[in-house]
Structure 1
Amino acid sequence: MAKMLAARLHALGEPMSVDTIDVPTPRPTDVLVRVKACGIVPNMANVINNWPTWFPHQPLPKFPAIFGLDASGVVEQVGEAVLNTKPGDRVYVNPLRSCGSCQVCRGGELSRCRYFTLNGYFSTSRDGQRIFDLYPYGGFAEYMTAPQYSIVNIPDNMTFEQAGKLGYIGTSYGALKNATAGPGQVALIDGITGTLGVAST
């Protein structure tokens, strides 16, 4: 088996360690991405130190866990059922995971799925542990697997570091769009100095 380095958290409140583990093999509908950059979420310290106390009903990945939200990189390998992605593609890996088959998923409301999970971060439901079992690799590793629906191609003129910010920019854009904010309107953005607030200005 090919090996890779991954920063893994073995216990809450302890530093991550850089471990050598096997490179994952993509399942038929999965993509293997060689990670080039990954966002560092400002709230990550709270998640890895306090999450089980604050939100015991929302699971973290099982330890040793590989965190890392908003990864970008180059497709290394694709599963046999992957249709629109190929090795060599430059991509952003959208961390939103859901079952993809329930009524709310088919209606485009992934965050309402009983399995909704932010890969490399935390889940919003007890059932989300199943997603972590399927996709235990976050962006703090040299390689990660992801479902083909989460792969977003990026242009050659976008750096991998810039692509790692797409999650926050997209969240801010979505919030402004849902609020029907537009030119000439005045808006109060709570938490303007935070990552989402800055992305919305």
Structure 2
Amino acid sequence: MTRITAAVCATHGAPLQIEQLDLRAPLAGEIEVTLEAVAICHSDIHYADGAWGGDLPAVYGHEAAGRVSALGDTVTGLAVGDRVVVTLIRSCGTCPNCSGGKPTLCDTPRANASPLSRQDGTSVVQAMNCGAFASHVVVDQSQVVPLPDDIPPEAVALLACGVITGIGAVVNAARLRPGQDVVVIGAGGVGLNAIQGARIAGARRIVAVDVTQEKLDIARDFGATDGVLATCPAPWKAVQQILGRGADAVIVTVGAIPAYNDAPRYLGWGGKVVMVGMPHSGAMAEFEPVVLAYMAQGMVGSKMGDVVIRRDIPWMADLYRQGRLKLDELVSGRWRLDQINDAIADTKAGGAKRNVILF
């Protein structure tokens, strides 16, 4: 057992508690990672607030970077000391989805119990297969990708979720082609990366739609060619005036029902809405199916950008090293683990792109 420090959610909606937990040694196919950084994602906050239910006590956190500190039996391709990005994408490699190139949809049940426990023996949920609001994690080897030492740990951590989700939604789910037009609804952490993905993919115009002018200004720094306030009357009409037609792809990166209700209105003929942002369970949206049918439009969900992490994360890391992908600029603040509740409050306030806990 390794004694670790973690931020534990004991009650939904309450501040996280800093506790000393026990972390068992890695089993076959698992590795232990001593963390250097973990970013705070809105998904962690929604889970901690009880938006999607879940058992407690639990440790959240799933955008992490660190160094391999122990190996279980049968682990290959990794060594103690390797710098790795730790993701929540755990794949068996053999189920129909994994075999079909969709590891984000792996449907093989988790085989091992949570490696976390309190000192009295009470099991603690390792949320999202990571539990990375902690000094150490034990995860399946399929969840990590080794990356070069010259990339800062904050940048490595961001490649675990927000970056791959945003870029992947454009490149993998929307399959954007050069010269097409994109609307990105929401200019937060994931939205900014969708904008970067559209720029990298060669979009003609990239229109950011958000409720604040401040976020629209930031979106331009990441590649948006235009910005439209979501609070203006019929913002989709303003977007169509900018583009001269409807969009080829609309990427919804916020979990807001009004955004989903309006998303198809931005589309042109044959366009596609890519659904990324996750509303609370039970929330319902409405759309007019006859329009989608007549205009040959579509709506598709995108989980974690439909990425294959061993293919896509090294590609994105190389774009960063070339200066073509902004990661350092996404970091709004650096915090200690004992400041995590302040970092979460700052994230909830809406101004942060990504707050990062450093160990």
Could you say which TM-score interval applies, normalised by the shorter chain? 0.7 to 0.9
**8 Å CA contact 1:4, 1:21 repeated in 2:** yes
Q: What is the match of residue 96 of structure 2?
A: 103
Q: Is residue 185 of structure 2 the alignment partner of residue 190 of structure 1?
A: yes
Q: Is residue 184 of structure 2 the alignment partner of residue 200 of structure 1?
A: no
**8 Å CA contact 1:92, 1:154 repeated in 2:** yes
Aligned-partner residue type, residue 176 of structure 1? V
Which residues of structure 1 form unaligned runs of 5+?
Answer: 116-126
Q: Is residue 162 of structure 2 the alignment partner of residue 168 of structure 1?
A: yes
How big is the shift at 1:187?
Answer: 1.1
**1: CA distance, partners of 2:112 / 2:157:** 21
**Following superposition of structure 1 onto structure 2, how do residues 26-41 of structure 1 map, counting pairs within 5 Å?**
26-41=26-41
**8 Å CA contact 2:41, 2:162 repeated in 1:** no
How big is the shift at 1:98?
Answer: 4.2
Q: Is residue 14 of structure 2 the alignment partner of residue 19 of structure 1?
A: no
Q: Is residue 82 of structure 2 the alignment partner of residue 89 of structure 1?
A: yes
Q: 1:94 to 1:75 in 2, by over 3 A?
A: same
How big is the shift at 1:100?
Answer: 4.0
How many residues end up aligned between the 2 structures? 180
Q: What is the match of residue 215 of structure 2?
A: none
**Following superposition of structure 1 onto structure 2, how do residues 60-79 of structure 1 map, counting pairs within 5 Å?**
60=54, 62-79=55-72
Name the SS for the 1:85 alignment partner.
coil
How big is the shift at 1:102?
Answer: 2.0
Aligned-partner residue type, residue 8 of structure 1? V
> Who wins on radius of gyration, i.e. which is larger?
2
Q: Deviations over 1:66-105 (max 9, x none)?
A: 1101111010001121111010000001211244432222
Aligned-partner residue type, residue 184 of structure 1? G
Taking CA–CA contacts closer than 8 Å with sequence separation of 6 or more, which of the two structures ends up with the larger relative contact order? 1
**2: CA distance, partners of 1:112 / 1:148:** 17
Q: What is the match of residue 136 of structure 2?
A: 143
- Which stretch of structure 1 is more off in the superposition, 172-181 or 87-96? 172-181
- Which stretch of structure 1 is more off in the superposition, 90-99 or 29-38? 90-99
Which residues of structure 2 form unaligned runs of 5+?
Answer: 116-125, 196-359
Q: CA RMSD in A?
A: 2.1
Q: Deviations over 1:122-159 (max 9, x none)?
A: xxxxx6xx478446251111110111111111112211
Q: What is the match of residue 149 of structure 2?
A: 156
Q: Is residue 175 of structure 2 the alignment partner of residue 180 of structure 1?
A: yes
Q: What is the match of residue 50 of structure 1?
A: 50
How big is the shift at 1:38?
Answer: 0.6
Q: 1:180 to 1:102 in 2, by over 3 A?
A: closer
- Which stretch of structure 1 is more off in the superposition, 130-139 or 67-76? 130-139
**2: CA distance, partners of 1:151 / 1:114:** 18
How many percent of aligned residue pairs carry the same amino acid? 29
Name the SS for the 1:189 alignment partner.
strand
**2: CA distance, partners of 1:196 / 1:24:** 33
How big is the shift at 1:24?
Answer: 2.5
**1: CA distance, partners of 2:2 / 2:62:** 24
Q: 1:83 to 1:111 in 2, by over 3 A?
A: closer
| Structure with the higher helix share, 1 or 2 | 2
**8 Å CA contact 1:2, 1:22 repeated in 2:** yes
